[in-house]
Amino acid sequence: MHGPRRRPAYGVPVTDLRFEGRIVGVGTTSGTRLVVGMWARSPLGSFADVMVETGEGRRILLAPSREVADFIAGTYTFDEVRVLPVSWRKVDGGIAVTVGSTDSALGDDTLRLRLDIGPVSGLGMLLRLVPKAFATRPGWLGLINPVARLIVPGSATAGTAGGGRREYYGVTLARHITGLTAAFEGRDLGSLERLWPPVRFGFGSAPAAPTLVDVTTTIR
């Protein structure tokens, strides 16, 4: 479960936990904002999770297992945590995410989300200039964090992760989200909107412009 161990000068072991996958952040005209994590490789295996902040400011975590829920809730802040099946799949032109039952006939799904994925964004073009092996290093991400906050307001590449840990976001590619259909707890969330105001789960939000990013997250 643990990544490589190193010993800094003061003699305390350092453990890096790396999560490799994609994150999408979107707003909706209902005021509900969604952040979806789709992790191909992680210390917890392959999984997806959804963070929801309602228009009233209620923060809800939807996680596929108690192990995943406990880890994420120990890293970010939520008002409610629910353990439910979370799945995603590629569809024509985008991605579909389901939380709860995958059988629409049962009618008990918590979240249904369809995202239309567009071209690489201007930010994505900029990110391509940095070699991936370098772009995901915690040292580099800590160094560029002030610049990243200026370029993409509300976002961050380094910050606290609870329990005396640090977290680093190494984004290597970004694509526009061009449309969505979404329902949460049976309520239509409306159409695509900027992710604004920023979500309040952790030290940084996703970009305000609806975006899908390839990312390596390191927790140290």
Prior bond of 131 cis (ω within 30°): no
What's residue 54's pLDDT? 97
Q: Tell me if 7 is assigned to some domain.
A: no
How far apart CA 112 and CA 103 sit, in angstroms, is: 11
* Whole-prediction pTM: 0.89
User: Mind giving me the DSSP string for 77-115?
Assistant: --SEEEE--EEEEEETTEEEEEES-S-TTT---SEEEEE
Helices (H) and strands (E) in the chain, counts: 4, 15
Which structural domain range is residue 165 located in?
16-219
Q: Tell me if 1 is assigned to some domain.
A: no
Q: What is the pLDDT of residues 115-167, one digit of tens each?
A: 999 999 998 998 999 998 889 999 999 999 998 888 888 789 999 998 889 99
Backbone angles phi, psi at 138, to 5 degrees: -55, -40
Q: Tell me if 5 is assigned to some domain.
A: no
- Report the SS3 class of residue 67: helix
Q: Tell me if 8 is assigned to some domain.
A: no
* CATH code, domain with 70: 2.40.400
Q: Tell me if 124 is assigned to some domain.
A: yes
Which token pair is 60?
A: 């809800």
What's residue 85's pLDDT? 95
Q: Which residues of the chain have pLDDT under 50?
A: 1-12, 105-106
Sign of CA dihedral 193, 195, 200, 202: positive
Q: Tell me if 9 is assigned to some domain.
A: no
Q: Tell me if 164 is assigned to some domain.
A: yes
Q: Tell me if 76 is assigned to some domain.
A: yes
Domain count, the chain: 1
